[in-house]
Amino acid sequence: MQKWVYGFGAGQNDGRAEMRNLLGGKGANLAEMASIGLPVPPGFTITTEVCTYYYQHEKQYPPELQAQMDEALARIEQAVGLRFGDESKPLLVSVRSGARVSMPGMMDTVLNLGLNDRTVEGLAAASGDPRFAWDSYRRFIQMYGSVVLGVDHHRFEEIIEEAKITRGVSEDTALTADDWRQVVAEYKAMVEEVLKQPFPQDPQQQLQGAIGAVFGSWMNQRANTYRRLHDIPADWGTAVNVQAMVFGNMGEDCATGVCFTRDPSTGEDIFYGEYLINAQGEDVVAGIRTPQPMSEARAKPGERSMEAAMPAAYAELVDVRSKLEKHYADMQDIEFTVQQNKLYMLQTRNGKRTAAASLKIAVDMAREGLIDQTEAVRRVAPQSLDQLLHPTLDPKAPRKVLTKGLPASPGAACGVVVFSADEAETRAAKGESVILVRIETSPEDIHGMHAAKGILTTRGGMTSHAAVVARGMGRPCVAGAGGIVVDYHSQQLSAGGQVVQGGETITLDGATGEVFLGAVAMVEPKLSGDFATLMGWADSVRRLKIRANAETPLDADTARKFGAEGIGLCRTEHMFFDPERIGAVRQMIMSESEGGRRDALAKLLPFQRKDFIELFRIMAGLPVTIRLLDPPLHEFLPHREEELAEVADTLGADLATMKRRAADLSEANPMLGHRGCRLGVTYPEIYEMQARAIFEAAIETAKETGKAPVPEIMIPLVAMKKELELTRAQVDKVAKEVFAEAGMTIEYLVGTMIELPRACLTADSIAEAADFFSFGTNDLTQTTFGLSRDDAGKFLPYYVDKGILPKDPFVSLDPDGVGALVRIAKDKGRGVKPDLKLGICGEHGGDPASIAFCESVGLDYVSCSPYRVPVARLAAAQAALAGGGDRTA
Amino acid sequence: MQKWVYGFGAGQNDGRAEMRNLLGGKGANLAEMASIGLPVPPGFTITTEVCTYYYQHEKQYPPELQAQMDEALARIEQAVGLRFGDESKPLLVSVRSGARVSMPGMMDTVLNLGLNDRTVEGLAAASGDPRFAWDSYRRFIQMYGSVVLGVDHHRFEEIIEEAKITRGVSEDTALTADDWRQVVAEYKAMVEEVLKQPFPQDPQQQLQGAIGAVFGSWMNQRANTYRRLHDIPADWGTAVNVQAMVFGNMGEDCATGVCFTRDPSTGEDIFYGEYLINAQGEDVVAGIRTPQPMSEARAKPGERSMEAAMPAAYAELVDVRSKLEKHYADMQDIEFTVQQNKLYMLQTRNGKRTAAASLKIAVDMAREGLIDQTEAVRRVAPQSLDQLLHPTLDPKAPRKVLTKGLPASPGAACGVVVFSADEAETRAAKGESVILVRIETSPEDIHGMHAAKGILTTRGGMTSHAAVVARGMGRPCVAGAGGIVVDYHSQQLSAGGQVVQGGETITLDGATGEVFLGAVAMVEPKLSGDFATLMGWADSVRRLKIRANAETPLDADTARKFGAEGIGLCRTEHMFFDPERIGAVRQMIMSESEGGRRDALAKLLPFQRKDFIELFRIMAGLPVTIRLLDPPLHEFLPHREEELAEVADTLGADLATMKRRAADLSEANPMLGHRGCRLGVTYPEIYEMQARAIFEAAIETAKETGKAPVPEIMIPLVAMKKELELTRAQVDKVAKEVFAEAGMTIEYLVGTMIELPRACLTADSIAEAADFFSFGTNDLTQTTFGLSRDDAGKFLPYYVDKGILPKDPFVSLDPDGVGALVRIAKDKGRGVKPDLKLGICGEHGGDPASIAFCESVGLDYVSCSPYRVPVARLAAAQAALAGGGDRTA
């Protein structure tokens, strides 16, 4: 016969902590605590399989369930010496849900179940405290009425308010036994009025109702939404825990509390928590009375610590704390009740904590020997490092939300609103903190983005220009805030009827996507020694190399500081927007002849060479992958006629010609247009200039330092082997020329971005012409899904929200589609060249789930924006520890 | 020992027609003719393997070659009783190249080789004709000098011109033996002056030189280019044919001629050709003398037929003609020489022919029993049917080319230039023939495209809107004519300095992409009974079903007329542009609420229902696949402010709101934007209306005819199974409602376009929710290559031209990339549902090579534009005959 009910406490523990899938987290841990000898009130857990059965059988329970429950209840009765429904000494129970993971929206708790008009008298007599009994009964009606019977909780609150007004008191504690008896009568009348039937008096019926409510709440709308958002299968089900009540509210020798075994905010090794004397669980969090500290050391004047008030129970609890940490080897979040000086444990679970606490606890516990170093590496969520590297909003600071966009680049920023890059730069130069607000950004805005403390756009997704560049610079960014209307002309933005003028202050939280009116207080990041320690441990276990995407010396320096092992993507076009250069770039674009283009490119050569020399110096001894020009040429032209006229003037061209050329260059779908190696093939002089700049820089670096860098030259957007062959031949030709001129030769590699489905599908052929592959998963995601990252904002959030896509595929690599192509490319590429170097340089290179995928495929490195390097190092270590994958292939 | 040299004629024929890979076409056929007893002058073929060897061994010949050549030459000498280099009776030979396929740019022929200052005297004596001997010698020096030694041929022509002026004659024939002797002396002096060494006198050295020149020409630039364009591997190599000379120029009993065994223009079964008395081969084509007809029946007054002039040789040739046709079972293109009344055959090969001739010859030969019906089906190139279905330019008509674009839709058209769809319609209504000229077309132009005789655009590729729609309508179209600048404002176009005003006449050739000034005479298509016969034979062997892409009753009728077996793609959005409807469509788009959209959609419902009823009627008993709305909504809004204002006015909206909404809808990359099922998911009311129109139409048709159609509803742009599940659920819901209202139920299928790489890669999952897949290979090509068909015009022609891509992948399905995805999708889809119906509905559905691919993959049908249906039927038959593929999978 299948076992549907697992007992705990009173000497019979059917469950263990490992059985959380079957018993839910709460039930499994109650059994675990009981089995290591901690004082747990006896009870039983109805398994998650009952829930699944219930939904698979049109809401019928397994036929054996009732008998098993009866037996388990009888065991409780025997253990505590009370009987459920007994009118003189009634057993009361709590009913709590308990899924594998805690889930908002589900029915949580009903306490004091088993009370009715007769047992309440028995409880009063047995406890000798009628006030306690009637207070317990009214609490039960209130909880049961609202969560099981669905009566609006305000209706209950109104009755208490009325009672207090009538009695002229302001605190619940001032109400007497008779007052509560009166409240109970009014509660029952109100419930009967609402439900057209009396409040259930039969304890068995109460129990059935509460259990049914738990199972019912598993499929309510809020729970369904939460599950979809968190990818929790509906067939996991929830368990139900039925447990003998203990009372923290039977008098001054009673108490209840909630603690963490370490400080969840800082991670400090102190006993952290709150308790209340003569209170039931929900009172601690309800805020009606002020909870008191646990230890005397932490007590402020006027506070009464548990250590002082209940020294014996406290000492026992300190002992429990130590046992639990040793047993679970993690910081615990516990709930306890003291009934007449006797301690009872009601819950333990791994405690939630801040990023800083997570780091400190992991490192401390490893040092204490509770866990080993690899376990410490596993314990810290890589994403949480963002909190340690960027300013964050002070959680206690008041704030007024204006709107919400996408959390495009982490960190908080506060400043005055400006609507143009130039103004951002001007005001920043005067020492102002500015937030650059744009409908969307383009490469022309880079100087303003750099000058700004944060960036806000109303269009574009997680890999829009604004998002990518902001992450690269470590600037907080909220992107695609569609609720905001920006009016450049009147220099104001509006959202939900609220208007913000240019020059007024707003605050961004790039980690949540929230935008706030005015200034919100912030907390500056502090990097402790623990950070370096954990990173060291992570480095010692990871296999994947971590490189950074960087073009500027500043980016490269930042990347090195955060531990990058080279540059995986240097986007040379970012070097073209400098005001000193853009003129020559535009002259090149406007030239209708190769000769004209070559003249203009000759002006750019010294700039590019200098760029590369600086990067080679900073990355001395490390690989530097340089991608040749990728974007379509029209990206370098201004959009507005006035600006075009200005450019025409500078170039000595007439506006009409300029407009015609701009129109010629414009594209219906620039993402799929004349860009990448297609430019290199049709205008070979561009790649020739870039290759020359690279080789001359490498040789100059070699002569200067005695050690030649090994540039990795990367050809973008290859779809056919011949494209790579042609452009590679151009590069090789220039190499020969430069080496001959310099009288020396250096090593170099030529490889390609794999960023088109066709490149993946023909990777065996392309590998023959490539020294390395770097997966450009941004563009590969766009083409695989047929999804423009610039336009996806219109429906992608809806898709993710509705669970059509589990995650934004521009944030986390889609393993089924994009990942399948990466695997195909890896198999085909390594099939031809077993040692083919493989990396990834899309935005996914900084995403932990994507890094785990890269590890499983057996890539050699990931490359991400400098501020993501620590995240990537830790994620790579965790991925290596998780093992698996097809790395041997 | 490897055999490098194959003899033919004189009783020893080492080769056969099947050995063309080894011996080249010419050599193989010479041996074949000799072996069936035709009079072939003896000779030998140096195999293509020598050419390959030569290039693999730094231009060295195989060591055994010389001995084999000596032996073969000795056999010729013995057969004809002359010796090579003999000063009294010299053997002369011709040296000709002969690859597997004839290839322009290669060295072709050197005649009379073996002549020098001494053998010329022997020839004079032996022939008794010094003029013939010296004429032959000067011809040899001229040919050898130009093609082997590389002397500019003008230098030779100048010397002859000078000689004729000096002698006061105007015809070569007026020059005497002494005159030619003098020319020879001057030729030799000129060659020595140019080359700084004398003209080679040693016949063996001459022979080596000529053979070397043939092999050398295999790798010259023109040949390399040609090979790349025609996908001919360099390692095929060329053969060299060395053959005893026979002379058509030894007197009035000598002649030379070129014939076809049937009329290559009409296919008529007559002996068609030309000959010249007393002439050498090149004289027939040189145009200096007028060639004469073969048969007396064809001789016009003043002409002297070969039948009359040389009855015996003619009779023998007629016999040869018959033997060759029986032997080769195909129309032959032959070259012959008559020397002193004796006939010699110098070449035979399958003759090139027009589309009409190809069709007639294939059907005739099958009826004559020369070939069977399946062979007749194989013989006609499917693409050539275009010539039979559309008007074509009269090949003899004079013409003045203005420019050239892409051959986007076949047929010729002539008319006055108009620059707007409205003007096209207005002028066409008055009976004018118009050519609609646009920079590019959009769905708003459809009425004008329909009214026009032809369409010319300056942007866009083979699958641009203009090209796709024109092909669908059977309108000739030249697209992407980048050489033309269109100025709408001044109502003129210009190209290469030539200006054409609106209202002036131009002519398009949609089969070549050429644009001509003025009117060019045209030939109207005539469909013979042979066409229907061949189509019938094709239908009896093909496996693939052929459907048409059609939305209008006219298209559907045309498709049926051409033999379509259903509609494979009905693009419902094409139905939205009708002036009666576009208002409601725009109202729907402008509505910011679901209710507003539903109101507008309700207005569209009756129109859509009527559309479907008409299609169901025309396609009675055949499947009709209807694709729900696919393009992004902004495609339905006008682009210019005036037009927007007009729309705003119609809708009672203000222009500012209209502009804001239009700006909201605009996309950076519409191809990858908010379209396809993404619209269906976010605006379910649109698909609901369309589904309702389909079901109501199907039920009305069922009630009217007693036979219900089985609509196949197709959801576009699915990337995730959930998208299909959601939209399918909408369709099913509407079906239930309509069936309940109507009191009857009909069958229907719901499937999806497979047009994104992700859909292919996850086809197993998607197949679970699909009744059928239809590969949308246009979009799949765009995403697989990352190539926008609207923008590819800037570099795709260059790519194809340079051989980076063998073919335009929008014209012919790319088997390595797109094809690989189609195979993956088929394997995964059929893996889940072995009977999953699979079709293709991109533009590739009408391309023979792509159809062969579809056959090899085992698709069930292809769907193409109505005018391509016959092409597809024939191509599908040929693909079935070719067999192979993974159809059993």
Task: Give me the residue from B669, B726, B785 closest to A671, CB to CB.
Answer: B669
Catalytic residue among B254, B841, B854, B864: B841
Chain A window 722-761: which residues touch B at a Cβ cutoff of 8 Å?
A: 722-723, 726, 755-758, 761
> What stretches in chain A show pLDDT beneath 50?
886-889
Query: Could you say which of A757, A790, A798 has the minimum Cβ distance to residue B817?
Result: A757
Nearest Cα of chain B lies from the Cα of A747 at a distance, in angstroms, of 28
Local structure of residue A144 (DSSP, 8 states) = I
Phi and psi at residue A485, in whole multiples of 5°? -105, 125
State residue A888's pLDDT score: 39
Under 8 Å between Cβ of B670 and B681: no
Q: Would you state the pLDDT for residue A287?
A: 62
- Closest-CA distance of chain B to residue A756, Å: 6
How deeply is B369 buried, as exposed, middle or buried, from its count of CB atoms within 10 A (0-12, 13-18, 19+)? exposed
| Distance of residue B504 Cα from the nearest chain A Cα, in angstroms | 25
Residues B740 and B751: their CA atoms lie apart, in Å, by 23
Cβ contact B358:B381 at 8 Å: yes
The strand ranges marked E within B384-497 are 392-393, 401-404, 406-409, 412-418, 434-438, 454-457, 477-479, 484-487, 492-495
Answer yes or no: B844 catalytic: no
pTM for the full predicted model: 0.83
Q: Kind of pairing, strands A93-99 and A238-244?
A: antiparallel
Active site residues of A: 465, 841
B379 in reach of chain A (CB within 8 A): no
- Searching chain B, which residue's CA lies closest to the CA of residue A486? B660
CB contact under 8 A, B667 and A791: yes
CA–CA separation, A619 vs A624, rounded Å?
A: 7
Judged on CB neighbours under 10 Å (0-12, 13-18, 19+), A300 is exposed
Question: What are the structure tokens assigned to B265, written together?
Answer: 């223009």
Rounded to an integer, the average pLDDT of B6-24 is 92
Distances (CA, A) of A873 to A547, A548, A559: 10, 11, 12
Of B682, B722, B804, the CB nearest to A720: B804
Q: Which amino acid, residue A155?
A: R
Strands, E assignment, B586-664: 624-627
Residue of B nearest to A798 (CA): B682
Is the model's pLDDT at B627 over the cut of 90? Answer: yes
For the stretch B203-230, pLDDT in tens is 999 999 999 999 999 988 888 877 876 7
Record the tokens describing residue A69, joined without a space.
């429950």
Any idea of the CA torsion for A558, A560, A562, A565, to the nearest 10 degrees?
Answer: 140
Would you call B669 and A674 a contact, using CB atoms and an 8 Å cutoff?
no
Does A290 or B320 have the greater pLDDT score? B320
For residue A670 the two structure tokens come to 């620039």
B488 touches chain A (CB under 8 A): no
- Residue range B543-547: mean pLDDT, rounded: 97
8 Å CB contact between B330 and B314: no
- Let me know: does B868 contact B846? Beta carbons within 8 Å: yes
Average pLDDT, chain A: 91
B820 interfacial to chain A (CB closer than 8 Å): yes
Residues of chain B with Cβ-Cβ distance to A667 below 8 Å are 788, 790-791
Residue with more model confidence, B632 or A172? B632
A437-475 as b/e: b if 16+ CB within 10 A: bbbbbbbbbbbbbbbbbbbbbbbbbbbbbbbbbbbbbbb
The whole-angstrom separation of Cα B145 and Cα B193 is 12
Give residue-wise pLDDT tens across range B462-476.
Answer: 767 888 788 777 789
Nearest to A865 by CA among A630, A552, A576, A507: A552
Interacting residues of A694 by C-beta distance below 8 A, sequence separation 6+: A608, A612, A626, A711, A713, A748
Quick: pLDDT tens for B70-129: 999 999 999 999 999 999 999 999 999 999 887 777 777 899 999 999 999 999 999 999
Task: Tell me which of A298-302, B182-186, B216-220, B654-658 is least confident.
Answer: B654-658
Quickly list H helices, A380-420.
385-389
Contacts of A669 in chain B (CB under 8 A): 669-672, 788, 790-791
- Average the pLDDT over B664-693 and give the result: 95
Q: For helices B177-195 and B153-167, give the axis angle rounded to 10 degrees.
A: 140
The whole-angstrom separation of Cα A519 and Cα A503 is 13
Nearest to A788 among B673, B804, B816 (CB): B673
- Chain B within 8 Å of A290 (Cβ-Cβ)? no
Question: What is the average pLDDT score of chain B?
Answer: 91
For the stretch B359-410, pLDDT in tens is 999 999 999 999 999 999 999 999 888 778 888 898 888 999 999 988 888 8
Q: Are B339 and B250 in contact (CB under 8 A)?
A: yes
Cβ-count burial of A97 within 10 angstroms (0-12 exposed, 13-18 middle, 19+ buried)? buried
What's the N-to-C CA distance of chain A in angstroms?
A: 46
User: Does residue B887 surpass a pLDDT of 80?
Assistant: no
* Per-residue model confidence (pLDDT) at position A775: 98
With a CB cutoff of 8 Å and minimum separation 6, the contacts of A623 are A547, A565, A566, A567, A710, A712
pLDDT, residue B556, reads 94
Q: Which residues of B touch A718 (CB under 8 A)?
A: none
Q: Do the beta carbons of residue A630 and residue A717 sit within 8 Å?
A: yes
Residue B484 CB-density burial (10 A; 0-12 exposed, 13-18 middle, 19+ buried): buried
Q: Which of A486, A784, A802 to mutate to test the interface with B (most CBs of B within 10 A)?
A: A784
Among A723, A757, A794, the residue with its CB nearest the CB of B674 is A794
Q: At A713, is the secondary structure helix, strand, or coil? A: strand
